[in-house]
Structure 1
Amino acid sequence: MIQSEETFDNTFPYASHFTEAPGFRMHYVDEGPRAGQVILCLHGEPTWGYLFRHMIAALRGTHRVVVPDHMGFGKSATPEGRSYWLQDHIDNLERFVLALDLRGITLVMHDFGGPVGMGLAARHPDRIRRIVSANGPTPFGQADLVERWMANVQVSPWFQWIRKAEAEGRLETVLGELGFNILSTLKLNGFENHALITDIWLQAYGAPFTSSAECAGAIGWAKGVATGAHRFEVPDAQAMREIQSKPALAIWGLADRTLHAEHCLPLFSALFPYASVHKLTGVGHYCLEDAPDIIAAHVTAFLQYT
């Protein structure tokens, strides 16, 4: 776990806040006017709120930007005796949102933040105002979900490695050293801007994983994919209608080697057939690292015209 006051050479200069509402010490950033519309940014694997540092800077002047670190990531605790499946993270996020009484939420979701955020939307559609997917899948148990997911797995080096490593009994061993192999893990998933790789950048992404015990969150998300332990939230009919009525936006880096646009974007378009979709050439899976200014501009415009 990263120390609360750590700013990584002032590249993450945001005050730390904590809540025990999910049953562990959960860290979050809460920037901007309290009366502003809420932007809730949700990270995935194996990142944390640092991924949204540029988004926070771009929006906090006019919006309340809330960025939690999931259990086992960033500055949040990695409690023992907890499971780290998708449904656990949805439970945690629900408790977090209710504790802060966040309403009128614009979800901005990356990677596993997609199904976590959509799980929240399924349970509390009345609290959601808009939905933004940034290389973050939005599965809702659609009829073709398994088919599209398996097609994506077949062309994803990350998911192929996860399944192979789990079958050979070495998944926990390799990901338990994430603090040392963070660069290769991030690169396997995909970013294109190699100028990002500085000592500070590597420290920021590797710092949450200084021991095998602190890697439980990253291991859980990977292991859940390999074993099928994750459970996607399925909304009831009323919640589905409410969610599909929300303004939505997808931004997708087409160089994503983990979540391929041809397999993942149809899940979004099936839910939001009239939503805008921006496809970014030369931008990888970690689109918020490769193209932060472009994404911030798209999100800002979306907030303005909706």
Structure 2
Amino acid sequence: MIPAEETFDGTWPFRANYTEAAGFRQHYVDEGPRGQSDPVVLLHGEPTWGYLWRHLIGPLSRTHRVVVPDHMGFGKSATPDGSSYLLGEHVRNLESLLVDVLDLKQITLVLHDWGGPIGAEFALRHPGRIARVFATNTVLPLGQPGYGELMVANFVDSAWFRWARAAQQDGSLEEVLGNAGSTVTHLMLALQTVARPQIVTPTWVRAYSAHFTGRAECRGVIRFPQQLVAPDPDAPPAAAPDPVAAAAILAKPAMLAEGMRDTALLPRHVIPAFRAAFPDAPVIELADAGHFPSEDTPETLLALLQLFLHST
């Protein structure tokens, strides 16, 4: 767990907030006007934390309340023993924060990577709390036609999932991800793609590797891909989304900003999956961004999100 006071040479100037409502010490940023009726919640994925959104938080917080949680096992949140680190647990943790602690309504969800499935499931459980959905290099399982087939195709084609599948089979996945403090930069650059390697400074490397001080602190980063490459054969099949809740979410304003150089979630599969859910929503292709548009093209992503907020 990264210390509360760590700013990474001033690149992360935001006050640390904590809650233990979900049974562990969870960190979140809460910036901007508290009376704002339409808060913006930014959810990270694998293997990042709230630092992913550092270029957006300040500008957005001038006009909106901005909440940025760190998932269990990432960033400034704890990595407790005895937790599954599976999707459903992350969703319940998010519910504890956004509903029980902060009681947020009219939420704009900003979703990246695993933040997409986590945020989509949260939205299905609380459709009345959601105002808009802004996705960037992620997938939203909302019961849309063809979604499963597109995800299978991505699983086969993706450099990230080809590596994860092979590493799970030869027994090296837990070794590589269990040493994420040393390997995380390579994983982000080579298997997911950072399109602007010049941003990878010593401070950047330290920010993304600092949480992963040992094997025990890497439970979260290991379990995200393992859910897909080594699913529990005894686990019940995922339930279909409630059609009423799904219809409510699919009627919300939505937007996709897609980094076209992504080698983990491939645009040729992700874009059709999004359009199947939101056929009339804008899809912006970011030619110069990889899997992390908030790193490669933060100014463009911020402008798109602000336009989306002001026009919907």
Instruction: Give yes or no for contact 1:118–1:233 (8 Å, CA) kept in 2.
Output: no
2:119 corresponds in structure 1 to: 117
1:93 corresponds in structure 2 to: 94
Instruction: Give yes or no for contact 1:141–1:232 (8 Å, CA) kept in 2.
Output: no
Instruction: Give yes or no for contact 2:145–2:276 (8 Å, CA) kept in 1.
Output: no
Give the alignment partner of residue 191 of structure 1, picking from 176, 191, 194: 194
- In the superposition, relative to structure 1, how do residues 296 and 146 fare at CA in structure 2: closer, same or farther (>3 Å)? same
Secondary structure of the residue aligned to 2:175 is helix
Residue identity in the other structure for 1:205: Y
> Once the 2 structures are TM-superposed, how far is the Cα of residue 234 of structure 1 from its aligned partner?
3.9
> Once the 2 structures are TM-superposed, how far is the Cα of residue 67 of structure 1 from its aligned partner?
0.1
| Counterparts of 2:284 and 2:127, CA distance in 1 | 24
Greater shift, 49-58 or 151-160, is seen at 151-160
Q: Is 1:235 aligned with 2:241?
A: yes
Residue identity in the other structure for 1:111: D
Instruction: Give yes or no for contact 2:146–2:276 (8 Å, CA) kept in 1.
Output: no
Residue identity in the other structure for 2:212: F
Residues 39-188 of structure 1 mapped to structure 2, 5 A cutoff = 39-99=40-100, 100-187=102-189, 188=191
Q: Is 1:254 aligned with 2:275?
A: no
2:214 corresponds in structure 1 to: 211
1:26 corresponds in structure 2 to: 26
| Counterparts of 2:242 and 2:141, CA distance in 1 | 14
Instruction: Give yes or no for contact 1:157–1:258 (8 Å, CA) kept in 2.
Output: yes
Instruction: Give yes or no for contact 1:135–1:253 (8 Å, CA) kept in 2.
Output: yes
Secondary structure of the residue aligned to 1:50 is helix
| Counterparts of 1:253 and 1:81, CA distance in 2 | 36
Instruction: Give yes or no for contact 2:41–2:107 (8 Å, CA) kept in 1.
Output: yes
1:16 corresponds in structure 2 to: 16
Secondary structure of the residue aligned to 1:2 is coil
| Counterparts of 2:25 and 2:216, CA distance in 1 | 16
How big is each residue's C-alpha offset from its partner over 1:16-50, in whole Å with a ceiling of 9 and x where there is no partner? 00011111100000000001220000000000000
Q: Is 1:2 aligned with 2:5?
A: no
> Once the 2 structures are TM-superposed, how far is the Cα of residue 116 of structure 1 from its aligned partner?
0.3
| Counterparts of 1:96 and 1:234, CA distance in 2 | 25
| Counterparts of 1:233 and 1:215, CA distance in 2 | 29
Greater shift, 89-98 or 8-17, is seen at 89-98
Secondary structure of the residue aligned to 1:57 is helix
| Counterparts of 1:175 and 1:244, CA distance in 2 | 35
Greater shift, 143-152 or 228-237, is seen at 228-237
Greater shift, 122-131 or 159-168, is seen at 159-168
> Once the 2 structures are TM-superposed, how far is the Cα of residue 281 of structure 1 from its aligned partner?
0.4
Instruction: Give yes or no for contact 1:56–1:65 (8 Å, CA) kept in 2.
Output: yes
How big is each residue's C-alpha offset from its partner over 1:171-190, in whole Å with a ceiling of 9 and x where there is no partner? 11111000011111111211
- Using the size of structure 2 for normalisation, the TM-score is 0.95
Number of positions where the alignment pairs a residue of Structure 1 with one of Structure 2? 306
2:301 corresponds in structure 1 to: 295
Instruction: Give yes or no for contact 1:16–1:27 (8 Å, CA) kept in 2.
Output: yes
| Counterparts of 1:53 and 1:25, CA distance in 2 | 21
Residue identity in the other structure for 2:208: Y
Residue identity in the other structure for 1:29: V
- Using the size of structure 1 for normalisation, the TM-score is 0.97
| Counterparts of 2:296 and 2:96, CA distance in 1 | 32
| Counterparts of 2:218 and 2:211, CA distance in 1 | 8
- In the superposition, relative to structure 1, how do residues 232 and 42 fare at CA in structure 2: closer, same or farther (>3 Å)? farther
| Counterparts of 2:231 and 2:292, CA distance in 1 | 24
| Counterparts of 2:152 and 2:243, CA distance in 1 | 26
How big is each residue's C-alpha offset from its partner over 1:129-167, in whole Å with a ceiling of 9 and x where there is no partner? 000001111122444233211211222111011111111
| Counterparts of 2:223 and 2:156, CA distance in 1 | 21
Tell me which stretches of 4 or more aligned residues in structure 1 moved more than 2 Å.
Answer: 140-146, 228-235
Instruction: Give yes or no for contact 2:143–2:246 (8 Å, CA) kept in 1.
Output: no
Runs of 5+ consecutive residues of structure 2 not aligned to the other structure: none
Runs of 5+ consecutive residues of structure 1 not aligned to the other structure: none
